[in-house]
Amino acid sequence: MKIAVLLKQVPDTETKIRVKGDASGIESDGIKYIISPYDEFAIEEAIKTKEKSAPSEVIAVSLGPVRVVDAIRTALAMGADKGIHIDDCGLAMDSFVTAKVLANALKNENFDLIFTGKQAIDDDASQVSQMVAEFLNVPQLMLAEKFELGADKKSATIERSVGGGTKEVYTVEFPAVIGAEKGLNTPRYASLPGIMKAKTKPVTTLKASDLVGETKPKTTNVNFRLPPERAAGKVLQGEPEQLAQQLVKLLREEAKVI
Amino acid sequence: MSLSYDLSSEHEMLRKSIRDFAEKEIKPVRQKLDEKEEFSYDLAKKMSELGLFGITMSPEYGGQGLDTLSYIIAVEELARVDGCQAATVAAENGLGIGPIYNFGTEEQKRKYLPSLCTGEKLWGFGLTEPNAGSDAGNSETNASLKNGQWTINGSKIFITNAASKITGGVTVQCVTGNKGDSGKEISCIIVEAGTPGFTAKEMHHKMTWRSSNTAELYFDNVQVPEANLLGPRGNGYRQMLATLDGGRLAIAAMGLGGAQGAYEAALQYSHERKTFGQALNKHQVIAFKLADMAMEIDLARTYLYKACWLKDQGRPFKKKRRLRNSIALK
Ligand SMILES: Cc1cc2nc3c(=O)[nH]c(=O)nc-3n(C[C@H](O)[C@H](O)[C@H](O)COP(=O)(O)OP(=O)(O)OC[C@H]3O[C@@H](n4cnc5c(N)ncnc54)[C@H](O)[C@@H]3O)c2cc1C
């Protein structure tokens, strides 16, 4: 089986985000990058699926500047076999262009399965996976909490939550795009021998400028703003009865939530 | 011309992987293990799956084939969260696996190293005795050779990884004869767990490293084959000194990791706790202390990594190591 994982490198959640002076984006220096956590679930599921369906291979694909090769190397250290780095060539990209470039890179590779995260934790757009599936004309199932490979290795059963504890269960024929939700698995740590082996695994570089064709962004970021600083909390004092009264009053009149 | 203080991307990846592991797997259980003085087989297994045993040893014997710096970063990151797990890993690599790897015969290496490098088994290095510590040459445990068998009598104390359920054996420093004027002849001998007359007793009531496995060893007419001698007869003292030289890098990494963890905890608390109307870190005296801590840690790390680099280049690293130990352990 041929399995792809789409990875996005995002700022570490502990990074202090600073907006550029002209509000056109965020300052990139000083940012530590990580693999978007949902994509880590995708890597793990891809490797697990490979282990259950030998001979198979996992190919980690990431679009972005040269630094994203680190994300690919981490996936290789976890157990992926090959990497594809698509250099963004500094092109203006939105989810639409990103998905187009990825789909064009994947198009001729005949993947049986494409794992992705349900969304990337930087812009939280949750659009790229679905659009990639659309451009490749294959089914997609997002928010997968359980993935079970069919006995025929040509289909899978996927479970996802739809709120209130209700679960949906789907079966899907390959090729398909699967978007990983938290809880799908516990990603393994890159082991020391894995890190050593990753050095020798091949990473191919493609150019987004060769893949983008006539596609132009459909959306443009016009402005970036930090969320307003959270105001300090209020501590109420007094007897429980008074406290309850004060709390209800504040919730009604100040917070206006009840 | 170029000089770079950046770590390679592999070293960075290794640090991140071990830090994640320590935060997610060790941190939640470290206090309970410490309180109960419990050695965690579960963590030992997980650490072995990460490849933390036999880090610098050749893959030919099941090792991971990494450099000294990788080993040191691994120990540092474990110690940042828990000195006990760092001790298990450092003692195993340096004292358990190290002497067999460095001085063992080909046969001994093939026999013992693979299961030690997978972490399936642990191994102890028995040097210290109640009357021989800093002065390790004072060992009284003795071994005599007769009819192709060594007979060992004596005892050892404070031996790491030697009384666990998965301990495969120990390397014991013994007096094997008298060299006249130049003193005792000292040799190292391999004793497998389960050899009649050999007992390993877990030690308790330690003040630190409480969830690391520490043992007292007793040898009561223990008989092992002559071939269990580690390297040439009479080389025991030299082997031990060489082993401890390398081991000091790991001890410095433990000091460094511990200092880093303590600094981070102090820094966080200094943001949270307010006295006299402002956060602790806004009081200049505290800010200066934190800055000094950060500086000394950075200094120790720079020195330690340089010593690793020197060692990996095959150059002398002892002076660096001593200077750095005195900074890191402060
Ligand atoms: C948790 C733990 C794990 C250990 N694991 C191992 C192991 O795996 N294998 C092993 O062989 N050993 C192990 N050891 C033992 C360790 O190596 C010894 O404790 C160490 O060598 C010191 O020896 P000692 O305890 O006999 O101290 P001593 O030699 O009695 O020293 C005590 C103090 O006396 C003073 N002193 C000693 N000599 C001098 C001198 N010449 N001049 C001035 N002052 C001096 C110093 O202040 C010194 O700190 C372990 C110890 C501990 C606590």
Residue extents of the structural domains in chain A = 2-211, 231-258
pLDDT digits (tens, 9 = 90+) for A162-211: 888 899 999 999 999 999 999 999 999 999 999 999 999 999 999 999 99
Identify the residue whose tokens are 């909390």.
A233
B187 CA to chain A: closest CA distance, Å?
Answer: 34
Of all protein residues, whose CA lies closest to atom 14 belonging to ligand 1? Answer: B158
Query: Does the residue B104 lie in any domain?
Result: yes
Q: Is the pLDDT of residue B260 over 60?
A: yes
Q: Which residues of A20-45 are buried (b: 16+ CB within 10 A; e: fewer)?
A: eeeeeeeeeeeeebbbbbbbbbbbbb
- Which pTM does this prediction carry? 0.88
Same domain, B130 and B219: yes
Query: Does the residue B318 lie in any domain?
Result: no
User: Measured from the CA of B131, which atom of ligand 1 is nearest?
Assistant: 26
Under DSSP, is residue B278 helix (H, G, I), strand (E, B) or coil?
strand
User: Whose CA is closest to A63, among A7, A10, A109, A115?
Assistant: A7
A187 CA to chain B: closest CA distance, Å?
Answer: 11
pLDDT digits (tens, 9 = 90+) for B177-223: 988 776 899 999 999 999 999 999 999 999 999 999 999 999 999 99
DSSP state of A26: B
Q: Within an 8 Å CB–CB cutoff, is residue A189 touching chain B?
A: yes
Look up the CATH number of the domain holding residue B179: 2.40.110.10
Say which CATH superfamily domain A2-211 falls into: HUPs (3.40.50.620)
Same domain, B283 and B263: yes
Report the residue of B7, B11, B12, B14 to disrupt the A interface, i.e. the one with the largest count of A CBs within 10 Å: B14
Low-confidence spans in chain A with pLDDT less than 70: none
Nearest residue of B to residue A186 by CA position?
B24
Look up the CATH number of the domain holding residue B252: 1.20.140.10
Same domain, B137 and B64: no
Query: Does the residue B30 lie in any domain?
Result: yes
Same domain, B144 and B233: yes
Same domain, B254 and B273: yes
Q: Is the pLDDT of residue B322 over 80?
A: no
Number of domain units in chain B: 3
* Structural domain harbouring B106: 9-117
Is the ipTM higher than 0.90? The answer is no
Structure tokens, A64:
């972005």
Distance CA B287, CA A42 (A): 43
Query: Does the residue B329 lie in any domain?
Result: no
Query: Does the residue B37 lie in any domain?
Result: yes
Of all protein residues, whose CA lies closest to atom 18 belonging to ligand 1? Answer: B133
Of all protein residues, whose CA lies closest to atom 33 belonging to ligand 1? Answer: B134
Among B238, B262, B284, which residue terminates a domain?
B238
Query: Does the residue B330 lie in any domain?
Result: no
pLDDT (mean) for B17-41? 97
Q: CB of A178 within 8 A of CB of A147?
A: yes
pLDDT score of B179: 81
User: Who contacts B320 (Cβ-Cβ below 8 Å, separation ≥6)?
Assistant: B303, B306, B307, B310
Q: What is the per-residue DSSP string for B72-100?
A: HHHHHHHHHH-HHHHHHHHHIIIIIIHHH
Higher pLDDT, B313 or A62: A62
Same domain, B234 and B248: no
Q: CB of A9 within 8 A of CB of A64?
A: yes
pLDDT digits (tens, 9 = 90+) for B61-109: 999 999 999 999 999 999 999 999 999 999 999 999 999 999 999 999 9
